Amino acid sequence: MIAVLKHELKSYFHSLTAYFFGAFLLIITGVGAMIYNINQTIANFEYVLYYGCLILIIIVPILTMRVVAEEKRQKTDQLLYALPISTTQVVVGKYLALLTIFLIPLLVVSIYPLIFAQYGDVYLPTSYGSIFAFFVMGAGLIAIGMFISSLTENQGIAAGISLAVILFNYFSVTISEYVSSTAFGSAITLAVIAVLFAFLIRYLTKNDNVAYTIGLALVAIIMMLFIIDSSMFEGLVPNIMAQLSLFERFYVFIDGIFDVTAIIYYLTVIVFFLFLTVQSLEKRRYN
């Protein structure tokens, strides 16, 4: 795993990806700090991270698009399968390399509150709590991008899909206001999601029986619950969309509240999508 980590870091720093990622993040946060903290004399550095969320929408797909897709395109992933390590170790090694690239500019950013504290009243716990949450949220988005990269051999497609997924997550709360909140509409939407989930399982496992069984079971459960008590589906889908937003949970930290449940949610997202990435690579390995 350490060998994979070193190899990935070497490849990223021998290309422009790591430098572009770090430079873009530092430039945007630096400009934000200059505008809000210096020009407008606002002591709260965490407000800069609020707009920093927009940075992640752009740079995370660029950072993750090649992590697996490029290996598959060049057929060098076969070399990884020949290594005396498990697929999980390969995925974790690649993921840690991405986190390292993300962490380096954040360490520079973390100096800003200390500098501003020399010239004003800066509440450091909120600032550093927000920076920590920003890192964990970014780690969750990177895990999502890494999984999407494992589904294709084309970097452009991986970046495009990742951008669309992250954008949807960013605007999910706004979109939820236009989604049907009726019980029937929520039930139909959940049934469609269950079918899509079955297709995802089929793609990852190549097992039709397992995928169709899970899909039919989920649809049957939804229908049964709807018949028993349809009121439980009232406004369910909009509420789920709001709860699944990684960005909405981050805004709580900016308000000065260290939400442990949000951290647990981010860690769950990381583990879940890394697991899916492992399954995606395992499918290719056995094929």
pLDDT tens digit string along 87-145?
Answer: 788 888 889 999 999 999 999 988 888 887 777 777 788 888 889 999 999 999 999 99
For the chain, the straight-line distance linking the first and the last C-alpha, in angstroms and rounded, comes to: 23
Residue 237 has pLDDT above 60, yes or no: yes
Residue 286 has pLDDT above 60, yes or no: no
Amino acid at 233: F
What pLDDT, on the 0 to 100 scale, is given for residue 202?
75
**Mean pLDDT in residue range 265-278:** 92
Residue 177 has pLDDT above 80, yes or no: no
- Model confidence at 67, in pLDDT bands (50, 70, 90)? confident
What average pLDDT does the chain have? 81
The CA distance from 130 to 48, in Å, is 10
Residue 270 has pLDDT above 80, yes or no: yes
Tallying the residues shown for the chain, one arrives at 287
The CA distance from 184 to 172, in Å, is 20
What pLDDT, on the 0 to 100 scale, is given for residue 122?
74
- Model confidence at 74, in pLDDT bands (50, 70, 90)? low
**Mean pLDDT in residue range 275-283:** 82
81 versus 95: the higher-pLDDT residue is 95
**Mean pLDDT in residue range 282-287:** 62
- Model confidence at 231, in pLDDT bands (50, 70, 90)? confident
The CA distance from 47 to 27, in Å, is 16
Range ranked top by mean pLDDT from 73-77, 124-128, 132-136, 283-287? 132-136
> What does the angle CA 157 – CA 173 – CA 151 come to, to the nearest 5 degrees?
20
Residue 287 has pLDDT above 60, yes or no: no
- Look at residues 143, 109, 91 and name the one whose alpha carbon lies nearest to residue 22: 109
What pLDDT, on the 0 to 100 scale, is given for residue 62?
86
| Helix (H) or strand (E) run with residue 161 in it | helix 155-170
CA–CA distances in Å: residue 192 to residues 196, 206, 242: 6, 20, 18
What pLDDT, on the 0 to 100 scale, is given for residue 73?
65
Percent of the chain past pLDDT 90, that is, above it, reads 14
* Contact between 240 and 169 (Cβ < 8 Å): no
User: Tens digits of per-residue pLDDT, 178-227?
Assistant: 766 777 777 887 888 888 878 877 776 667 777 788 888 888 888 888 88
**Mean pLDDT in residue range 43-71:** 80
CA 211 to chain centre: 25
